[in-house]
Amino acid sequence: MERTLTGLIKLVRYRFLLVAGLLPYGLGAAVAFYSYGQFDLFLFLIGFIGLLFVLIGVEAFNEFLDWHIGTDRVFQLSPKPVTNTTFLVGILAFFVALIAAIFLTLELGAAIIILSLIGFFAALFYLGPPVKLAYRGFGEITIALSYGPLMVLGSYYVQTQRIDVMPFFVSVIPALLLFGISIMNEVPDYFQDMLVGKRNICVRIGQKNVVRLYGCVLALFYVALLVALFSGRFPRLSWIVLACLPISLVSYTTGTRTCDNPHRFVPAIRHTIIHYVIVLGILITGYMVDKHFYAG
């Protein structure tokens, strides 16, 4: 039991997608509070627990499938086997998440179980056969949509029991940034992914072109940000996000110089993650504290 718990902690400790999923969930709740002044802490925590276990399940499944497909064994002389225990952890995590989804469905309506099923099948078929989205060039967009609109809209619905345009518009921001992070994360694994037949975007267009694509994603992000700021869709505190431009430039320029060297490329990935966390942190804080709602 102790060994299983230790393995679980190691599995989730440094997993970025856990943070990636939890921040958009917080963003959806913040948008709901900004729009309607509603925040139910109990429902938020039930949804949070369900989402946390979904993300643990996703990480467990991905690690298990990566091992059995062979991706994680390329270029390793003595790889540590991923046992069936990891798969069982994933099953258990999804079961806990299902209980949370059923509870919220009974409390709030069928939209919860629909959104949950969409997220489950996205997680299942990301690496799972026969679909294997990540091996067919659809993994990146799956991550962007699942951790962007799906998370934000789901959290917003938990608080408001509504499906509105506002949270969907806001969800474009995490979706763009997560798409950028996904393609940048593929650059160091270019050769091993190619050897196991993982036809993701990086394998299809090459490392240099992926960094160029990331630059386009950043440009689109700042265009969307400015449109939202000038249209008043984002809280006033969100103007601070523009101060993140130097981080974006560092991540892009570092990536262009080092895309053929996996070790030297790591700082570029690190800056994309820092940028994402800061941006979503500012947006969540802005929606929670902005006085526009009270003035209305």
Is pLDDT at 178 greater than 80 in this prediction? Answer: yes
Q: Look at the pTM and tell me if it is higher than 0.85.
A: yes
* Model confidence pLDDT, tens digit, residues 200-227: 999 999 999 999 999 999 999 999 999 9
Is pLDDT at 71 greater than 60 in this prediction? Answer: no
Residue 295 or 24, more confident = 24
Closest CA to 127 of 87, 95, 160, 167: 87
Is pLDDT at 30 greater than 60 in this prediction? Answer: yes
Could you write out the three-class secondary structure of 230-264?
A: HCCCCCHHHHHHHHHHHHHHHHHHHHHHHCCCHHH
295 — pLDDT class (breaks 50, 70, 90) = very low
For the chain, list the strands marked E by DSSP: none
Question: What's the whole-number mean pLDDT along residues 48-75?
Answer: 76
Q: 25-29, 86-90, 144-148: which has the minimum mean pLDDT? A: 86-90
Question: What's the whole-number mean pLDDT along residues 236-254?
Answer: 94
For the chain, the straight-line distance linking the first and the last C-alpha, in angstroms and rounded, comes to 54
DSSP string, 73-122: GTT-SSPPP--HHHHHHHHHHHHHHHHHHHHHHHHH-THHHHHHHHHHHH
Q: 47-51, 67-71, 166-170: which has the minimum mean pLDDT? A: 67-71
pLDDT in the model for residue 12: 46
pLDDT in the model for residue 19: 67
Size (the chain), residues: 296
pLDDT in the model for residue 64: 78
DSSP state of 78: S
Residue 12 or 235, more confident = 235
Q: What is the mean pLDDT of the chain?
A: 85
Residue ranges and CATH numbers for the domains of the chain are 2-74+83-295 (1.10.600)
pLDDT in the model for residue 13: 41
